[in-house]
Structure 1
Amino acid sequence: MSIGVLALQGSFNEHLAALRRIGVKGVEIRKPEQLQHVIALIIPGGESTTMAKLAECHNLFPALRDFVKTGKPVWGTCAGLIFLANKAVGQKSGGQDLVGGLDCTVHRNFFGSQLQSFETELSVPELVAKEGGPATFRCVFIRAPAILKAGPDVEVLADYPVPLEKLICSKSVDESQEEKLRSEEKVIIAVKQGNLLATAFHPELTADTRWHSFFLKMVGEAGDQKLNCISTTEGDLSDHQTPNDLPIFQ
């Protein structure tokens, strides 16, 4: 079995390249029936409204929701996080359909516009405990969402400190949340809940593949089906390389 990557729009090529670098075959998913042939799924970053419209056009939402309910691992990055959330705020007029399954409230564009995109080194103890390597991970935020509220079964893997005025001024923050935000002054940017993994940033845009390896361990824990592995030698990968194989941030 292979790992599927939703390939409607966004950084799906970068996820496929990252999977190849750790020796696992990824396949592009554009039709509902293709989900029957993958053991796990990555929903990449991109423009969430556009991705939702394309998913609706291809009648993918029912199949995606069923896939999540089967217990197979699903990882959403940036726009993929929005897709997996049970509730999204800060959306455009009319909103968008969600796949759901992740017990959280996400602010669709918490960190601002394209011009406010940024990179930062953040502590990720759970990732380091399982994958080793540096104590921090370089997180790339591009018009990124943030999780404002997570349910009791959601494991927080990473959070990000933000100015208090940013939290209080957010249109998504109601009075019941304000006291909690005043004491924490941070938002959640990576979580795990059962078979679901979500990150507000873009690990696929770095040379560091630890989040992809972390996800593979979730796949291994979910069942005994064998992953479709490929050789990671330079010769074997040369026929598959595209400009997107080169990580944007080293």
Structure 2
Amino acid sequence: MIKVGVLGLQGAVREHVHSIEECGAEAVVIKQKEQLEDVDGLILPGGESTTMRKLIDQYDFMDSLKSFASTGKPMFGTCAGLILLAKDIVGYDEPHIGVMDVKVERNSFGRQRESFEVELDIAGVADDFTAVFIRGPHIVQVGENVEILAKHHDRIVAAREGNILGCSFHPELTDDYRMTAYFINMVKEAKEN
């Protein structure tokens, strides 16, 4: 069975676990870096990127996360998770994990009270996906090997670069598991190769 880890330091961990299980894969909440060796793919959940970075540093996760990415095992960052994966962040001198060739801008869609839902056309996933945006970032620019999967008002909100997937919204906060299923399929393909 495919095992997908969810970084369990902060954020919407339980919701991601539920969506993974609904897709027929095994979910593992990752609270220690050694657990990364046991999973086939990893989700970095939404939450607060600055807090998540502090916890990644506190629990000595950074090198293990970079190493995980270098193995070619798929990673999926949602909202704050996308910020962690990005190689470039507007207003910051250096990235966090920095493995996806995108530049992101934090809090692009307003404050918490300005959260909203919108139907998106996501390439390879769905043409009617209800996306929940909560203080989400957006992708300002992409590298040449990055495939843009979705836009909202001309802002890039989902993209993929090889085994790395990122989105600005929270797919785990709906009962639509197609985005998670898309990632699990990436994990299956990577495991077979």
Give your verdict on TM over 0.5.
yes
Contact 2:159 2:167 in 1 (8 A): yes
Pairing 1:1-250 to 2, within 5 Å after superposition = 2-90=3-91, 98-128=96-126, 135-161=127-153, 186-224=154-192
For the 8 Å contact 2:86–2:95, the answer to whether it is kept is: no
TM-score for the superposition, normalised by structure 1: 0.74
How far apart in 2 are the matches of 1:68 and 1:102? 10
* Aligned residues of 2:3 and 2:25 also touching (Cα < 8 A): yes
How far did 1:97 drift?
5.3
TM-score (norm: length of structure 2): 0.95
Query: 1:90, CA displacement in angstroms?
Result: 4.4
Choose between structure 1 and 2: higher strand proportion: 2
| Aligned position for 1:234 | none
Identity rate, percent = 45
Contact 1:158 1:188 in 2 (8 A): yes
Amino acid at match of 2:186: M
* Equivalent pair of 2:9/2:55 in contact (CA under 8 Å): yes
List structure 1 segments (4+ residues) > 4 angstroms apart after TM superposition: none
How far 1:224 moved relative to its partner? 2.8
CA distance in 2, matches of 1:205, 1:120: 13
Unaligned runs of 5+ in 2: none
State the structure with more CA Rg.
1
CA–CA distance in structure 2, aligned partners of residues 142 and 156 of structure 1: 21
TM superposition shift of 1:211: 0.6
Gaps of 5+ in 1: 129-134, 162-185, 226-250
Quote the Cα distance in structure 2 between the aligned partners of 1:60 and 1:96: 17
Matches of 1:16 and 1:208, distance apart in 2: 14
191-200 or 111-120, which deviates more? 111-120
The count of residues paired between Structure 1 and Structure 2 equals 192
How much has 1:117 moved relative to structure 2? 1.1
Q: CA deviation at 1:96?
A: 7.5
- What do you get for the CA RMSD once the two structures are aligned? 1.5
CA distance in 1, matches of 2:57, 2:149: 31
**8 Å contact from structure 2 (residues 15, 172) kept in 1:** yes
Bigger RCO (CA 8 Å, 6+ sep): 1
- State whether residues 52 and 96 of structure 1, in contact with CA within 8 Å, keep that contact through their aligned partners in structure 2: no
Distance 2:128 2:94 in 1: 34
The 2-side partners of 1:150 and 1:199 are apart by: 13
Kept in 2, the 8 Å contact 1:11–1:44? The answer is yes
Distance 2:123 2:71 in 1: 29
- Which string of whole-angstrom CA distances, capped at 9 and with x for unpartnered residues, describes residues 114-173 of structure 1? 111111111123213xxxxxx311000001000000011000000111xxxxxxxxxxxx
